[in-house]
Structure 1
Amino acid sequence: MKKIQGGCYCGAVRYQIATPPVWSGHCHCRSCQMALGGAFATWAKVAAEDFAVIKGEIQHIEKTSGIRRGFCRDCGTTLTYAALNEVEGQDWSADAWFSAVTLDDPSIAQPKAHIFVSHQQPWIKLDDGLPTFPEF
């Protein structure tokens, strides 16, 4: 099977995933809004062993304790998200989360839900029929 690739805006960082994403969704949490400069972020995930950086290096920042965001140090594109501790009893270390829109073909990461809609901006109107959740 051909590897699926993605990367940052300037091309300094490239990654590949060995399988199509197993889940994707829109996150409306305030942290994602601030980190990405948008009303929500669209994340996708694969098993951690199925994600590999093939060019460059992802820079990390941990502004919120236990949350590590990865980005390109050259152009600033947000690339990855990792919860380093258990979140609501779930261990996320088995998964690699990445920004779905950074895939070369983002259409393969079909979102399944809107999460953290308790933080949704009032000027965003959701009418795509996806389920919504106040938290994750």
Structure 2
Amino acid sequence: MEKLNGGCYCGAVRYQIASRPAWSGHCHCRSCQMALGGAFVTWAKVAAKDFAVTKGEIKTFQKTLGITRGFCGDCGTTLTYTAETEVEGQDWSADAWFTASTLDDPSIAEPKTHVFVSHQQPWIKLADDLPTFPEF
């Protein structure tokens, strides 16, 4: 498998994934809205063993116990999300979650769903026919 790369806006942080994303979707939760300053964010995931930082250092912030968001300390680009606890019966520590748009070629992480549409802003109109879920 060809290694795929991504990184932050200023280039201070670069990462590499060793597999194509196993999942990608749009998250409309209020936490993502606030953290990223947008109506929703597109996340992707690979196995944790397939994600490596190749340049710089990802800074982290934890507002909610067990949830850590990673970002570039220079330009502020959100890069990663980790959950130390099980979410909906899934062990998230086995995966590396990252913002799909930070891939050099984001088209490889085609979203398959919308999650947390219970938090969706009323001025967002979904017309892509992807499945939607009130929570994750």
Alignment TM class, shorter chain as reference:
over 0.9
Query: Aligned pair 1:105/2:105, yes or no?
Result: yes
Question: Which blocks of at least 5 consecutive residues in structure 2 are unaligned?
Answer: none
User: Displacement of 1:65 after TM fit?
Assistant: 1.3
The ranges of structure 1 where at least 4 consecutive aligned residues each deviate by more than 6 angstroms after the TM superposition are: none
Structure 2 match to 1:79: 79
Name the amino acid aligned to 1:31: S
Matches within 5 A, 1:63-74: 63-74=63-74
In structure 2, C-alpha distance between the alignment counterparts of 1:81 and 1:50, rounded to whole Å: 15
In the superposition, the TM-score normalised over structure 1's length comes to 0.98
User: Displacement of 1:90 after TM fit?
Assistant: 1.6
User: Displacement of 1:2 after TM fit?
Assistant: 2.2
In structure 1, C-alpha distance between the alignment counterparts of 2:13 and 2:112, rounded to whole Å: 27
Q: Tell me the number of residue pairs that the alignment of Structure 1 and Structure 2 aligns.
A: 136
User: Displacement of 1:49 after TM fit?
Assistant: 0.1
User: Displacement of 1:93 after TM fit?
Assistant: 0.7
Structure 2 match to 1:15: 15
In structure 2, C-alpha distance between the alignment counterparts of 1:103 and 1:36, rounded to whole Å: 16
Superposition CA RMSD, Å = 0.6
Structure 2 match to 1:49: 49
TM-superposition CA deviations, 1:20-39 (whole Å, max 9, x none): 10100000000000000000
* Greater CA drift, 57-66 or 84-93: 84-93
Structure 2 match to 1:131: 131
Question: Which blocks of at least 5 consecutive residues in structure 1 are unaligned?
Answer: none
Query: Aligned pair 1:37/2:24, yes or no?
Result: no
More strand by share: 2
Name the amino acid aligned to 2:114: H
Aligned residues with identical type, % of pairs: 81
